[in-house]
Amino acid sequence: MRPMSDKVSPLRQPSAPVSAAVLMREVAGLIVEALNLEVAPADIEPDKPLYGEGLSLDSIDILEIALVVSKQYGVQLRADSEENERIFGSLRQLADYITAHRTK
């Protein structure tokens, strides 16, 4: 066993901000897992739409994603928010929104 403590790694500090790329990968993983998609998380293109043409998600999927996002990050999405259309515009925009509004 290696004598290594969590404390020596600065990345393990809870206050360290998660980089955008790391969060995007994490969110992509959650989406693939929640929706049982056939694609690998890394294959979701960051700037392609999640709805319709891009990843072909529909409103049932969006509800499912909203649910995992609320559980994982404490972000409750609302359709009356002006940002709503933009949030699901791409993986990057969803991750940005989570970064700005996460409570956990």
Partner 1 sequence: MPILVTQFLADLTRVARVLGGGGHVLNACADRYHFTVGLAASLVSGKVSLLPSTHTPEVIRQLAAFAPDAICLTDEADCGIDLPRVPFPREATPFSRLEAPVPVIDSAQLAACVFTSGSTGAPVPYRKSWGRLIACVREEANRLGLSGSPACAIVATVPPQHMYGFESSVLLALGCGHALCAERPFYPADITGVLAAVPRPRILISTPIHLRALLESGIALPPADLIVSSTAPLAQQLAAEVEQRFNTRLLEIYGSTETGQIAARPPTQTPEWRLWPGVTLSERDGETWAQGGHIEQPTRMCDVLEVTGAERFLLHGRVADLVNIAGKRSSLAYLNHQLNSIAGVIDGAFFHVDDSRASHAGVARVAACVVAPDLDAARVLQELRRRIDPVFLPRPLLFVARLPRNTTGKLPQQALRSLAAAHLKSA
Q: Give the interface with partner 1 as residue ranges (CB under 8 A).
A: 36-38, 52-53, 56, 58-60, 63-64, 66-67, 70-71, 76-80
- Please, which residues have CB within 8 angstroms of residue 78's CB and are 6 or more apart in sequence? 84
**Of 13 and 36, which has the nearer Cβ to partner 1?**
36
Q: How far apart are CA 98 and CA 31, in angstroms?
A: 14
Q: How far apart are CA 29 and CA 9, in angstroms?
A: 24
Q: Nearest distance from residue 32's CB to partner 1, in Å?
A: 12
Cα radius of gyration rounded to whole Å, the chain: 15
Find out whether 56 and 44 touch, Cβ atoms under 8 Å. Answer: no
Q: Nearest distance from residue 2's CB to partner 1, in Å?
A: 37
Q: Nearest distance from residue 77's CB to partner 1, in Å?
A: 5
**Of 12 and 48, which has the nearer Cβ to partner 1?**
48
Q: Nearest distance from residue 88's CB to partner 1, in Å?
A: 12
**Of 8 and 60, which has the nearer Cβ to partner 1?**
60
- Give the number of C-alpha atoms closer than 13 A to the C-alpha of residue 99, restricted to the C-beta side: 16
